[in-house]
Amino acid sequence: MGVVKAQRLRWLGHIRRMHSNRTTKKVFESRVSGKKRRGRRKLRWKEEDIRELNLTQWEEKTGNKNE
């Protein structure tokens, strides 16, 4: 795994382990309200990271700091 991918996976794990009342976690897991605009929907940060890193079972991978 490349250095950048490893750092992003590490950041995902850091956010995953945060308490739900932390602002960073709230923003990361938030959804935009309001009317949907025409065209392709925009991905949330989490969805974009998971897609770009080509991750499966990312929550299990981020939970284990030894991997």
DSSP 44: P
Q: Is the pLDDT of residue 45 over 60?
A: yes
Number of folded domains that form the chain: 1
Has residue 26 been placed in a domain? no
Please choose, from the candidates 45, 50, 48, 47, the residue with its C-alpha nearest in 3D space to the C-alpha of residue 60: 50
Asked, for residue 48, whether it belongs to a domain, the answer is yes
Q: What pLDDT shows up at residue 57?
A: 62
Look at residue 4 and tell me if it is in a domain.
yes
Amino acid at 52: E
* Look-up of token digits 């992003």: 8
Q: Let me know if residue 67 belongs to a domain.
A: yes
- CA torsion 5-32-30-49 (nearest 10°) is -10
Residue 63: pLDDT above 50? Answer: yes
| This prediction's pTM | 0.48
In a domain, 28, yes or no: no
